[in-house]
Amino acid sequence: MELQFEFESIPDDYQPVAASNIVDNFKVETTKAAYQYHTTYDEGGVTKHAYMSFSVSDPTCDDQITINVKPRPAGTSTAESVTYAAGVWSFEVYEDSTASEINAAIKAEIARQESNGVAISTLSCENLVLPSGSTRGTVFKDMVMTAPATAGDPYTTKTIALEGGEKTGVTLDVKVQEQGAFANEYKVTFAYSSGYGKTKAVWDENNLTITVSNDTTIADVNEAIKKAASGDKYKLLSFNDISGLDYGEGYEFERTITVNAADDTKFDVTETDKYGNKRTKEGIAEADLGSIDWTTGTVTYTKADGTAGTAADFKSTKETDDVWQPVFREAFFKGNPAISPANGKDSFFTETAKALSTFALENGRLGGPQPLDSCDVVIQTDGTIVGIHPVHGYLTLGRIDVALFENPNGLSQAGGTNFAETVASGSPKLATAGGDSGAGSILSNTLEMSNVDLSQEFTDMITTQRGFQANSRVITVSDTMLEELLSLKR
């Protein structure tokens, strides 16, 4: 007998690669131009939010708004004043002005302009939110005013600009921090929540949903993901860039600036964040270095003559114009844009496990049939199913999870050793066996005494006993017949 063996070669690089992806072909457009000035302050240990929103129906409008806040003269009912000239709206309002009073002044100015034959965009003050219990004058001042230009002046004018139109080239740049067995199977979806301080992240198997609010920064997103991962290193993702979001305080990069190889009058800028993510912009003119939207960080600056520069040589400014107003955040994130980090690769062994396994793998993934020439299958105490293959050796084929209930006593018996979920028991929560969230270990080739149905076993024992008695009667009858046959022969 001739034996033949066929061996598969193991690739040189059999390790999984941490997934990452950059998507920059998203587009978002709004139906109106808008601006929202927002401020936060602490009052008794509670963060409070105040904001003032303006909008026009024309998305191409780029009008300027200047606001001058004054104390209302005592004993008078002086009305708010709004004037419009050459694309600039000038507001004269008071510390106790409301949105309805401001809108009344705007409507009066629009009517005056129309009576003079001037067509202008219809401006409206959509929101003026000043939290209850706060001093309106103080909050209003913080929202729209800078420091007094001249001693004795109560306030100075604050200028804001309406912003509208469509955005193109929106970028989402995400990276899986730890290479995992299935690093290329993640999906990240965004959602929008109006208001402030509502950033959150939730995992559902291998799907991550990130909720973005009006003040969400990239640092907020990464912190929410870290919290949602709950120590699971395979679910620790980080974003290097999300168009329209600020990076947030404390989110720093180490910056390196080098002379461009093709043109020594220009520079290449590379930044690396604390997670190891990198981003590079090439061919930047020295005069334009300050227009790059980088946050502060460690600066390494190599000049054209090869000497090292200092932080003062790098004209870095933090642009706030690229941070989207709520109207853009809602238009983009409410559409639930999604990204999958698809550049990560599985290892040779996990690809084989996917192709061979019939079990539900981690995060709910399914494979194909079990290898026909596997020698044995072992279930470990943590529920991991390990197959022993003559060629591939030990393969992780899947995992058996344990379902936990808030009230196990509320389960209803469905017959035998099976139980069914009820309202009293609550919904099942899957956990890894062996201690995760209090889940017990799995013992293979073992029968739990607590799962034995005694009434059924008694019934089976009696049935077996009666069967044995019936069989014994058959033997007795057969013996009598044979004895009678022998008697006839005599």
Classify 105 as helix, strand or coil: helix
Is residue 450 within 8 A of residue 444, CB to CB? The reply is no
**Which of 6-10, 48-52, 236-240, 410-414 shows the lowest per-residue confidence on average (mean pLDDT)?**
6-10
Q: Which of 102-111, 217-226, 398-407 has the lowest mean pLDDT?
A: 398-407
Closest CA to 61 of 87, 83, 89, 91: 87
Contact 211, 189 (CB under 8 A): no
Indicate the average pLDDT of the chain: 76
Residues, the chain: 490
What pLDDT is stored for residue 251 in this prediction? Answer: 58
Tell me the mean pLDDT in the region 216-220.
89
What per-residue confidence (pLDDT) applies to 320? 42
Instruction: Report yes or no: 71 and 145 within 8 Å, Cβ to Cβ.
Output: no
The C-alpha atoms of residue 30 and residue 329 are separated, in whole angstroms, by 10
Contact 95, 69 (CB under 8 A): yes
Quick one: pLDDT at residue 190? 93
Residue 316 clears pLDDT 50, i.e. is over it: no
Give the separation between CA 378 and CA 301, rounded to whole angstroms: 58
> Residue 213 — very low, low, confident or very high, per pLDDT cuts 50/70/90?
very high
| Residue 20 near residue 343, CB atoms below 8 Å | yes
Query: For the chain, what is the radius of gyration of the CA atoms?
Result: 36
Q: Are 301 and 308 in contact (CB under 8 A)?
A: yes
Strands of 316-434 (E only): list them: 338-339, 376-379, 384-389, 393-399, 402-404, 412-415, 418-420, 429-431
Q: What integer is the mean pLDDT of 318-335?
A: 76
Q: Which residues pair with 177 in a beta bridge?
A: none
Domain ranges of the chain: 20-27+165-246+325-339, 33-161, 253-313, 348-399, 402-451, 454-490
With H, G, I as helix, E, B as strand and everything else as coil, classify residue 471: helix
